[in-house]
Amino acid sequence: MEISPNPGKNLIIEVDNKKYARYPVKTHLITPKDKNPAEIIKKYISGLTKKGDIVFISEKIIAIIQGRAYPIKKIKASKIAEWLSKRVYRNPGGIGLASPETMQLAIEEIGLLRILFAAFISLITKPFGIKGLFYIIAGAKARGIDGPVPYAIPPYNTYASKIPLEPKKIAIKISREIGIPIAIVDANDLGVRILGTSKGIDKKLLIKALKDNPLGQCDESTPIGILREL
């Protein structure tokens, strides 16, 4: 396999005294017109994998295929979303819910009452220097909402997205169709979360092996990766 690492990333990483390669795989620009993620993955990894490999996929392409990525201009933020967005902690890894549009998606996704409760707890603990409680209480669906970033590949540099629906079921379904272990990951340069996997995948190993986000953070167009023990 002759695949180069993304700029600024290492192809090889050592985890628990073992070496692993993380091969990024380029694809076309994924859009909602791509209805079957298994077909896309099978097409681009054909001839590249071998027994023992794990294929990991950016959650963003699953969200896009499911129609859960939205142009910012088409998101109508409510007044309460505007108010709340000014009062949440701005994550250094991205805008998070610190914009009216992403906050509106959070309200739609988990409900206004839970958002308000998270905001209240965050407000009363803030004087004590406690940060991040809003996202803990709001939950994974709120934490997983991504806002637009200038370095993303167009047109998604002007999109906000929710996390995929039923990522574990999606991972299992894809794995059954293509015969390879699958993991759906939410990664950035600050770390990685595993949203769903097929059976038999060591999640702790995967988190360590992908901790520096080998798929890249910009416009690399590599939403698929192959993890291989060397």
Indicate if the pLDDT at residue 94 is higher than 80: no
Q: In DSSP terms, which residues pair with 70 in a beta bridge?
A: 160
Q: Which domains does the chain have, with CATH numbers?
A: 12-68+166-229 (3.30.1330.100), 70-161 (no CATH)
Handedness of CA 22, 43, 67, 75 (dihedral sign): positive
pLDDT of residue 87: 81
Strand 224-229, strand 18-25: pairing: antiparallel
Q: Which two tokens stand for residue 16?
A: 């628990």
Q: In DSSP terms, which residues pair with 20 in a beta bridge?
A: 13, 229
pLDDT of residue 185: 96
> What is the average pLDDT value for the chain, to the nearest integer?
92
Confidence of residue 95 (pLDDT cuts 50, 70, 90): confident
Indicate if the pLDDT at residue 2 is higher than 70: no
Confidence of residue 5 (pLDDT cuts 50, 70, 90): confident
pTM: 0.90
Element (H, E) at 209: helix 203-209
Note the pLDDT tens digit of each residue in 163-174.
999 999 999 999
Confidence of residue 93 (pLDDT cuts 50, 70, 90): low
Q: Who wins on pLDDT, 91 or 17?
A: 17
Q: Across 85-89, 121-125, 176-180, which has the greatest mean pLDDT? A: 176-180
